[in-house]
């Protein structure tokens, strides 16, 4: 790995600003790594010459004294569920793609901050899966073990970052699709507060659960990208100071866990205590309802969006994705409404558990990256469907709208990454990022 692609955005930005490192060289280095790792299927489309041209323009602007932000000249990848003007939005599907005339607002804002859009990343078809295996562009392979999945649905973005093909990426998260692949691949993934970042120009999966957010190598980088996607001033992210209180939910959200995931969580608790923070046990009433409530919201909402596409192109979907969409057509309206009511109850439960805490601390993903093709996994002595095991710890916070972030917590005995998740107060994503930076520092 060359030095330039090993850098974080935070470390690279001053060098780009001083032009001791050229945005063109940085972009070329990323393109070389994309080419070298093509077999992993992380990218669907690469903007080779266009990205170089954008990097040249960034270099000219910086040289002329028109430095825009710490993202100026930084190569960023975009999940191919999000519109980039002039590029097909495929959603990872063989269905006919469309070519948007405009960037999605989150992409436009990153461009305004000076970012170089390097390409579009692979995903689980229409973001409706947790492994990124069901894609018309091939399965996204894990950056450490190619026989395993990178997680999903934003698997291409996570793998691209882990293999240093870009410095940051845009992902989407309806039940954990930013945090799950981030945890599986050993990078940082941030799901902001529900509704905080515009989902305009993003192909919907479930319009009341969809979020868009950043993926990055470090918490500080995720913070910079979040600020850029939001359109606010992009400044440095400082770790939260003082004594923090972490609430650790038990029960449903802690059992069962893979043994190395449990150890990573325990290691994090110990590191936080050692750093002088308080770690307390909390409960989230009714958390055991999560999977059933989620299913009765995501299925009919996805089926609604896809109804005309299923009518015209049913045979072009990946078989598993098509069946899940068809399943949504059988959910009764009264059960959808029941789920919406219970979603409000769960939101109050999470609020209650957060009272007196800065954040909640739990695992991000109950298992390590799953083997490609696996339908079930062993977790804590029980056999579970891969999809259910992967969604279990993240989907609750899509329903409640609380911001959540996945942070690497070191490898397991198998060498695969493990991760913890922090959940913050609604509307306080910026604070969550600061606390996450403190946790990241404590784990070093």
Partner 1 sequence: MSDTVASWLAGAVADAKQRGLAPLEPLLTTLAKSTAALRAADAEFRAADTAHGTARPDPASER
Tell me which residues touch partner 1 (CB under 8 A).
Answer: 286, 289, 291-293, 295-296, 299, 319, 323-324, 326-327, 330-332, 335, 338-339, 341-342, 345
Question: Per the residue annotation, which of 177, 206, 353, 406 is the catalytic one?
Answer: 177
Q: 35 or 288: whose CB is closer to partner 1?
A: 288
Q: Does 353 participate in catalysis according to the annotation?
A: no
Question: Per the residue annotation, which of 7, 22, 69, 79 is the catalytic one?
Answer: 79
> ∠ at Cα 349 (343, 350), nearest 5°?
95
Q: 212 or 331: whose CB is closer to partner 1?
A: 331
Q: How far is the CB of 368 from partner 1 (least distance, A)?
A: 24
- Token pair recorded at residue 158: 């996570």
Distance CA 121, CA 177 (A): 13
Q: How far is the CB of 211 from partner 1 (least distance, A)?
A: 23
Q: Which residues contact 43 (CB under 8 A, 6 or more apart)?
A: 34, 77, 119, 120, 121, 122, 156, 160, 165
Helix axes of 219-230 and 429-443: crossing angle, nearest 10 degrees: 160
The beta strands (E) that lie in 140-244 are given as 168-173, 188-191, 211-216
Which helix (H) or strand (E) segment holds residue 322: the answer is: helix 319-328
Q: 271 or 291: whose CB is closer to partner 1?
A: 291
Q: Does 79 participate in catalysis according to the annotation?
A: yes
Question: Per the residue annotation, which of 22, 153, 157, 206 is the catalytic one?
Answer: 153
Q: Is the peptide bond before 246 cis (omega within 30 degrees of 0)?
A: no
Q: How far is the CB of 291 from partner 1 (least distance, A)?
A: 7
For residue 231, give the DSSP letter.
Answer: T
Q: Does 177 participate in catalysis according to the annotation?
A: yes
Q: 99 or 345: whose CB is closer to partner 1?
A: 345
Which helix (H) or strand (E) segment holds residue 407: the answer is: strand 404-411
Distance CA 177, CA 153 (A): 5
Q: Is the peptide bond before 153 cis (omega within 30 degrees of 0)?
A: yes
Q: 255 or 292: whose CB is closer to partner 1?
A: 292
Q: 214 or 300: whose CB is closer to partner 1?
A: 300
The widest CA-to-CA distance across the chain, in whole angstroms, is 62
Q: How far is the CB of 385 from partner 1 (least distance, A)?
A: 8
Catalytic residues: 79, 153, 177
């Amino acid at each position: 790995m060359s030095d330039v692609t090993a850098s974080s955005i935070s470390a690279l930005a001053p060098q780009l600003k001083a032009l001791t490192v050229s945005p063109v060289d940085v972009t070329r280095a990323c393109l070389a790594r994309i080419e070298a790792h093509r077999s992993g299927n992380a990218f669907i489309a690469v903007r080779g010459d266009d990205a170089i041209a954008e990097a040249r323009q960034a270099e000219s602007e910086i040289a002329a004294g028109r430095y825009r932000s710490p993202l100026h000249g930084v190569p960023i990848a975009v999940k191919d569920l999000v519109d980039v003007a002039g590029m097909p939005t495929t959603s990872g599907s063989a269905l006919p793609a469309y070519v948007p005339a405009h960037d999605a607002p989150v992409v436009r804002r990153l461009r305004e901050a000076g970012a170089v859009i390097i390409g579009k990343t692979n995903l689980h078809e229409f973001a409706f899966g947790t492994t990124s295996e069901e894609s018309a562009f091939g399965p996204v392979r894990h950056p450490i073990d190619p026989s395993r999945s990178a997680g999903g649905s934003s698997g291409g973005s996570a793998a691209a970052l882990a293999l240093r093909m870009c410095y940051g990426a845009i992902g989407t998260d309806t039940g954990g699709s930013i945090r799950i692949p981030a945890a599986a691949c050993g990078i940082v993934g941030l799901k902001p507060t529900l509704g905080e970042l515009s989902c305009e120009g993003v192909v919907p999966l479930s319009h009341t659960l969809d979020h868009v957010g950043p993926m990055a190598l470090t918490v500080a980088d995720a913070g910079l990208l979040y600020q850029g996607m939001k359109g606010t001033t992009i400044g440095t992210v400082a770790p939260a100071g003082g004594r923090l209180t972490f609430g650790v939910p038990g029960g449903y959200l802690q059992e069962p866990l893979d043994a190395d995931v449990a150890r990573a969580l325990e290691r994090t608790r110990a590191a936080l205590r050692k750093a002088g923070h308080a770690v307390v046990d909390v409960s989230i009433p009714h958390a055991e309802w999560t999977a059933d409530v989620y299913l009765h919201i995501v299925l009919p909402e996805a089926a609604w969006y896809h109804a005309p596409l299923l009518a015209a192109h049913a045979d072009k979907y990946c078989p598993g994705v098509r069946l899940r969409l068809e399943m949504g057509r059988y959910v009764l309206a009264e059960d959808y409404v029941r789920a919406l009511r219970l979603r409000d109850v769960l939101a109050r439960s999470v609020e209650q558990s957060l009272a007196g805490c800065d954040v909640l601390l739990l695992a991000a993903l109950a298992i390590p990256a799953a083997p490609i093709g696996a339908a079930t996994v062993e977790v804590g002595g029980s056999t579970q469907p891969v999809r259910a095991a992967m969604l279990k710890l993240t989907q609750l916070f899509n329903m409640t709208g609380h911001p959540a972030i996945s942070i690497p917590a070191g490898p397991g005995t198998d060498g695969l990454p493990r991760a913890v998740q922090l959940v913050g107060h609604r509307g306080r994503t910026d604070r969550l990022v600061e606390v996450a930076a403190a946790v990241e520092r404590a784990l070093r």
